[in-house]
Copies of this chain bind each other. A is one copy, B any other.
Amino acid sequence: MQQMDLLISRIIEKKNPTVAGLDTRLEYLPESFLREVMPDGVHTLEDAAKAIFAYNRALVDALCDIVPAVKVQVAYYEMYGPAGMQCFADTMAYARSRGLSVMADVKRNDIGATAEAYAAAYIGQTDAAGAKVRAFEADFATVNPYLGADGVAPFTKQAAAHGTGIFVLVKTSNPSSGQLQDMKVADGRTVYEVVGDLVRDWGADLVGEYGYSAVGAVVGATYPAQGAALRVRLPQTFFLVPGYGAQGATGADLAGCFDARGLGAIVNASRSILCAWKKREGVPFAQAAREEAVRMREDIASALATAGKALR
């Protein structure tokens, strides 16, 4: 089964179009937990990576019957060096073992030959002198479009070959996203509309059983009008929607990213789940994360119901 179809089926099964972002930083771990898992303290990057994996595993256990997917932001693992990358791999493997779809949020891109290596690393296979192995076992990777088609084609090729998928940055959630992305080009489109149209074309041959392609788009919840317009413009493109929670977007901001069936998008929240314990005094971190994930599910369900798009 194509991973995009599997993701959508899990969204429907759990009635929850959200993804928990495991952007775990050492500072997010409660001191008591840190003492428990690392009684001798954290002194090296290896120690830090070990503690973070323990946190992630507990979060996955607490969330795996609530959310259909996790998104693992690789930057927070790269900052701990090779040990951090091992933690990244282990976190993704553990989440998969608990029945979750796994997105590697790597925002990779490069010229063709190099993009092939990235695609192999995350959503394909590496050839190690004949043995084909998966370096990092993700179901999806995020991809940056600045280099144009030949920086993306190797990813769509691997997606087609392995049933995996990608989300290409179209309209990002950050405050300065418009600096480049909102510029109007000669034909009247914005840069992000140009990219959106390319994403639609790149994914046209990979449309699955729900009518959505394995080539999705990243569309920030912090720009709701643009998200709603892109939903209409790109009817076969599934959206990964960051910006909910700590970045400021609410359930009401999201409804436009969904289609009439309540499908078409999955909303990410990271810090609001990872650090939920900080706002729930006395509640253990895993339970606090679970409560926040449930609250988020209800918030989005309510917003979709209000918009007449309740997921059935």
Contact = CB atoms under 8 A, between A and B. Distances in A.
A183 B186 contact: yes
Contact of A108 (B107, B126, B145, B147): B107
Interface in A151-208: 151, 169, 172-181, 183-186, 191, 194-195, 198
A111 interface: yes
A201 to B, nearest CB: 11
Given A128-B45, A129-B26, A191-B191, A117 B79 contact: yes
Nearest to A189: B183
A149 B173 CA distance: 13
Chain A: interface size category: 35 or more
A16 B179 CA distance: 37
Contacts of A114: 23, 73, 75-76
Interface string A80-124: 111111101100000000000000000111111011011011100
A174 B150 contact: yes
A169 B107 CA distance: 14
A121 B88 CA distance: 14
Interface stretch (A36-44, A257-265, A273-281): A36-44
A80 B128 contact: yes
Contacts of A1: none
A136 B136 CA distance: 19
A94 to B, nearest CB: 15
B148 A180 contact: yes
Contact of A75 (B48, B78, B110, B186): B110
A176 B194 contact: no
A145 B146 contact: yes
B180 A194 contact: yes
Copies of this chain, tallied across the complex = 2
Residue among A80, A85, A145, A177 with the most chain B CB within 10 A? Answer: A85
A147 B44 contact: no
A133 interface: yes
A125 to B, nearest CB: 9
B185 A45 contact: no
A120 B109 CA distance: 20
Interface in A37-62: 41-45, 47-48
Nearest to A126: B79
B107 A179 contact: no
Residue among A110, A145, A175, A185 with the most chain B CB within 10 A? Answer: A110
Closest 7 pairs (CB-CB, A-B): A148-B179, A148-B176, A42-B129, A75-B117, A81-B135, A111-B174, A82-B86
17 contacts: A44-B131, A47-B128, A79-B120, A80-B128, A81-B121, A81-B135, A107-B108, A111-B242, A144-B146, A147-B174, A148-B176, A149-B176, A150-B174, A151-B174, A179-B198, A185-B185, A191-B191
